[in-house]
Amino acid sequence: MKHTLVARVMDQPGVLNRVASLFRRRAFNIESLTVGHTETEDVSRMTIVVDTAKVPAPIVAANLRKLMPVAEVVDVTHLPTVDRDLALIRVRCAPEERAETASLVEIFRARIADVAAESVIVEVTGDEQKVNGLVDLLRPRGIMEMVRTGKVAMVRGRVAEQRPAAGASHAHAAAPAATH
Amino acid sequence: MQRTGAQIVWECLTKEGVDVVFGYPGGAILPTYDAMLDYSVRHVLVRHEQGAAHMADGYARASGRVGVAIATSGPGATNLTTGIATAMLDSSPTVFITGQVSSKVLGTDAFQEVDVTGITLPITKHNSLVTDVRQVARTIREAFVIARSGRPGPVLVDITKDAQQAKTEFHYPEVVHLPGLHEPDPPDPESLAQALELIAGAERPLILAGAGIIRSGASRAVVEFAEKAGIPVALTLLGIGSFPQSHPLCLGMMGMHGEAFVNHAIQEADLLLALGMRFDDRVTGNLKSYAPHARKIHVEIDPSEVNKNVKVDVALVSDLQAALSALTPLVAARQHDEWLERIAAWKKDTRSRDILHRDGNGTLLAAHVMHDIWRTTGGNAVVVSDVGQHQMWEAQYYKHDDPRTLITSGGLGTMGFALPAAIGAKMARPDAEVWVIAGDGGFQMTQCELATLQQEQLDIKIAVINNGYLGMVRQWQEFFHDKRYAATPMLSPDFVKLAQAYGIEGHCVGSRQEVVPTVEKVRGSGRAALVEFKVQKEDAVYPMVPSGSDLHAMIRRPAEAGTEVRS
């Protein structure tokens, strides 16, 4: 199955390389990986979706925690989260089809970000299911180009407010035995 | 006071209490070598950087202190890598300092430039590139803290030449802030209770003792626990020395070349208590049929090792000393006489096949050499073995009672490890009797370090077990490749003359009678000596669990000349 891990890492050169190298070396399978700034200067946040068919998520997380620039790793798979994926989709679209395409993407609360002679760029944000739904719908019209950011996730409500401060990740360190 | 980055390197090493570094100079590390002359840290000039890495590793394994090696950029650094990987696989606390081309030309394929932090990323616990003199002290301080902490390992610091030359105020940070550095947790009370319950319910328990015991300094604690709980102990290769082999509860080595009765005991046990070991494939054989009747408790400092190879029932993720000091007072005092008797019965069969009770029919058997060196040294030597058949015979026939008396490359299996690692070990423990035991193949990989040994006037004894083959590979060819000996017969130099060329006394032994007198003679000399033992050419290490086979499906030494017996 797929697990979503959220890692808080030091914003310094080579961190992404360390994470990628770890996944390559241990043959962990990355579905998607996003990195971005956070509320704290010098701290970046990675959302890593990993296929755990071969290696259970606690072992992936335990390996990530061994990297020196990694402050915290939380497996949010079974926590209530807001998760979002952004896609830009260039879809074939003759001038006379524009109105229809516009109303179609409207249903997904997506929008047309650019218009060219024979195509439009559709911009959609949502959880993976929603983005997949729109992609499936647009595919018959002819998707010429697509880019997706991969998932970012944030834990909802109270659970998140109780999250320990960065660095105090010890509570997670003993977890691997419990879940598998 | 302003100091150069190069001076700061030595200031840091001095602050860390480093008394010796192993290294080889070159262009990009030259400023650091120049500054060295003003500091009292001893420098050992090696003949190849791989040797420097193994020396630092051997120093660390013999003493528990951080071993340090220095090399220049490019080829200097790449030559270190085999030694770094060796230290990584066996969790040896080491710090490697390499020079790098100037920051102005980084990334331009400058002369002797190579991406050292890139190359060593997967074989270090951590590494850093330093381009700013103000980061030299902090980075080296961090390297030492990381190398020692938790599960130890190698850390590399790559410093550009301009960062070595530039000046700054020297300040050595006592406290370091690294998000990924976790102090080991105390053992979880709930898991402790579960572990105690499993131990209380076990009729056929077995302790699997690994290198973590030695790293943690927990040997005494393991003896106390095992004695109170009445649980016999099996050793991994790197766990040899963690529990005294003369102890009545000690069974001996497990795994691919472990004693057959020890592997039987694992397969019949109803509880395995794994202490500081990682269920390596050489220890488990086929995972599907491994210890099928046993519940498993894993006491391990590195959470990423838990459930990696073997699914366990209870994990105590903790330092071993902490776990045992919580377990021992609460564990019930017990005897497992019936279980021990069953094991003893299997042991009888092993005894009857033991090569020690056989005659070499005019040839010298390597196992006899190990046994005789053990007897003659009273089991008190620090033995540094290389990799191959002799390594297994050493593990089987030299009985170690104390931690840090067997130093060997277990995880990576690095041929050429022994001689340089022994130089490091002798520097760490000058009063110890240090023996190198190496095969004719591995010894030739790093024999250039004989010059280093002699230059440092070290009293190290070297046993070269010469069978004229790459013996372990030949054994696999014999068992699994129809005796097609591709590239395993090997020509060697005259080892006696080779030793003499370096100013080291050499002896050659070809019969059993000469073994003890020769060993005694070289022990008394107070100087380095090399003894070549010309042993039977096509002997094999028994028993053997073929790679990936069931642990109980061992190839045993034929009962007498004739058919092979499988148990």
CB-CB contact of B299 with B213 (8 Å):
no
Cβ neighbors of B305 (< 8 A, separation 6 or more) are B278, B298
Residues 6 or more apart whose Cβ sits within 8 Å of residue B545:
B255, B256, B257, B258, B263, B285, B551, B553, B554, B555
Rounded Cα–Cα distance for residues A121 and B553 (Å): 64
Angle at B437 between CA B431 and CA B443, to 5 degrees: 115
pLDDT band of B566, cuts 50, 70, 90: very low
Q: What are phi and psi of B522, to 5 degrees?
A: -70, -30
| Best CA proximity match to B101, nearest among B74, B128, B140 | B74
Q: B315 vs A176: CB contact, 8 Å cut-off?
A: yes
Cβ neighbourhood burial of B199 (10 Å; 0-12, 13-18, 19+): buried
Residue B565 has pLDDT above 70, yes or no: no
- CA of B123: which chain A residue's CA is closest? A25
Asked if B398 and B517 sit in the same domain, the reply is: yes
* DSSP letter (8 states) at residue A164: P
- In angstroms, the Cα distances linking A5 to A21, A36, A82, A87 are 17, 14, 13, 21
Q: Are residues B334 and B382 in the same domain?
A: no
Structure tokens at B420: 């340089």
Q: Tell whether the model's pLDDT for residue B153 goes beyond 50.
A: yes
Locate B138 and state its tokens. Answer: 């902090």
Is-contact B75 B106, C-beta < 8 A?
A: no
B306 plus B334 within the same structural domain: yes
Of B322, B346, B370, the position where a domain reaches its end is B346
> Residues with Cβ < 8 Å from B194, sequence gap 6 or more?
B313, B314
Q: To the nearest whole angstrom, how far is the Cα of B127 from the nearest Cα of chain A?
A: 9
Which of B178, B303, B314 comes nearest A173 by C-beta?
Answer: B303
- Kindly report the pTM of this predicted structure: 0.94
The CA distances from residue A109 to A149, A150, B146, B212, in Å, are: 18, 19, 50, 57
Number of folded domains that form chain B: 3
Are residues B461 and B493 in contact, defined by beta-carbon separation less than 8 angstroms?
Answer: no
Residues of B contacting chain A (CB within 8 angstroms): 117-118, 121-122, 125-126, 142, 146, 178-183, 185, 188, 191, 298, 302-304, 306-308, 311-312, 314-315, 317
b/e code B271-304 from CB counts within 10 Å (16+ = b): bbbbbbbbbbebbbbbeeebbeebbbbbbbbbbb
For the CA atoms of B117, B122, B123, B127, the dihedral, rounded to the nearest 10 degrees, stands at 40
Please check the confidence at residue A167 and state whether its pLDDT lies above 70. no
Task: Measure in Å the smallest separation between the Cα of B401 and chain A Cα atoms.
Answer: 33
Which residues, numbered 17 to 56 in chain A, qualify as contacts with chain B under a Cβ-Cβ cut-off of 8 Å?
Answer: 17-18, 21, 25, 56
pLDDT surpassing 80 at residue A160: no
Q: Assess if residue B550 is contained within a domain.
A: no
Residues B134 and B226 in one domain: no
Which CATH number do you get for residue B163?
Answer: 3.40.50.970
* B75 Cβ contact partners less than 8 Å away, ≥ 6 residues apart: B112, B114
Chain A nearest-CA residue for B183:
A170
Domain assignment present for B556: no
Q: Is A71 on the interface with B (CB under 8 A)?
A: yes
What percent of chain A shows pLDDT beyond 70? 87
Both B8 and B156 in one domain: the answer is yes
One-character DSSP codes across B125-136: SEEEEE-SGGGH
Range of the domain at B225: 189-346
Digit-coded pLDDT (tens) for B494-546: 999 999 999 999 999 999 999 999 999 999 999 999 999 999 999 999 999 99
| Token pair in block for residue B137 | 């002290």
pLDDT at residue A162, as a whole number? 63
Any domain includes B268: yes
Q: How far from the centroid of its chain's Cα atoms is residue B169's Cα?
A: 39
Query: Per the structure block, which two tokens stand in for B421?
Result: 């690692």
Active site residue ranges of B: 49, 111-112, 161, 472
The confidence score (pLDDT) of residue B460 equals 98
Residue B390 pLDDT exceeds 80: yes
> Helices A57-65 and A15-25 meet at what angle, rounded to 10?
140
**The pair of three-digit structure tokens given for residue B335, joined into one six-digit string:** 């005897």
Question: Could you state, in order of their start, the residue ranges of all structural domains in chain A?
Answer: 2-79+157-179, 82-152
Burial (Cβ within 10 Å: 0-12, 13-18, ≥19) of residue B71: buried
Average pLDDT over residues A5-21: 94
Q: Tell whether the model's pLDDT for residue B415 goes beyond 90.
A: yes
**Quick one: B314 and B389 in the same domain?**
no
Whether A2-79+157-179 and A82-152 share one fold: the answer is: yes
**What values do phi and psi take at B342, rounded to 5?**
-60, -45
How do residues A106-137 score in pLDDT, each as one tens digit?
999 999 999 999 999 999 999 999 999 999 99
pLDDT at B277 over 60: yes
Please check whether residues B255 and B379 belong to one and the same domain.
no
Residue B254 and residue B276 in one domain = yes
Among the partner-chain residues B179, B182, B298, the one whose CB lies closest to the CB of A69 is B179
Query: Which tens digits make up the pLDDT trace of A20-59?
Result: 999 999 999 999 999 999 999 999 999 999 999 999 999 9
- Taking the C-alpha atoms of residue B265 and residue B292, their distance in angstroms, rounded to an integer, is 11
DSSP-assigned beta bridge partners for residue A45: A8, A36
- Are B308 and A59 in contact (CB < 8 Å)? yes
Residue whose entry in the numeric block shows the structure tokens 């003893």: B344
B377 shares a domain with B524: yes
- Does residue B181 lie within any of the structural domains? no
B279 domain-assigned:
yes
For residue B548, is it within any domain? no
Across all residues in chain B, what is the average pLDDT?
96
CB atoms within 10 A of CB B201: 11
pLDDT of B563 higher than 60: no
pLDDT tens digits for range B109-145:
999 999 999 999 999 999 999 999 999 999 999 999 9
Size of interface A-B (CB pairs under 8 A): 81
| CB atoms B306 and A176 under 8 Å | yes
How far is residue A143 CA from its own chain's centroid? 22
Interhelix angle B260-268/B337-353, nearest 10 degrees: 150
Q: Does residue A105 surpass a pLDDT of 60?
A: yes
CATH number, position B259:
3.40.50.1220
Closest residue on chain A to B126 (Cα): A68
Residues B226 and B313 in one domain: yes
In the predicted structure, residue B237 carries a pLDDT above the cut 60: yes
N-to-C CA span, chain A: 13
Provide the Cα torsion B391, B396, B401, B407; round to 10°: 10
CA–CA separation, B13 and B24 (whole Å): 17
Regarding whether B447 and B373 lie in a shared domain, the answer is: yes
Q: Is A163 helix (H, G, I), strand (E, B) or coil?
A: coil
> Residue B474: which region, alpha, beta or left (left: phi > 0; alpha: psi -120 to 50)?
alpha
Provide the CA A29 distance to its chain's centre, in angstroms: 14
Specify the fold of A82-152: Alpha-Beta Plaits (3.30.70)
Measured in angstroms, the CA of B126 and the nearest CA of chain A are apart by 7
Site of tokens 């070809």 = B510
Would residue B456 count as lying in a domain?
yes
- B386 and B313, same domain (yes or no): no
Which residues between 86 and 145 in chain A have a beta carbon less than 8 angstroms from any beta carbon of chain B?
none
- A2-79+157-179 folds as Alpha-Beta Plaits (3.30.70)
With cut-offs at 50, 70 and 90, classify the pLDDT of residue A176.
very low
Q: Chain A contacts of B125, Cβ < 8 Å?
A: 66
Q: Say if B351 falls within a structural domain.
A: no
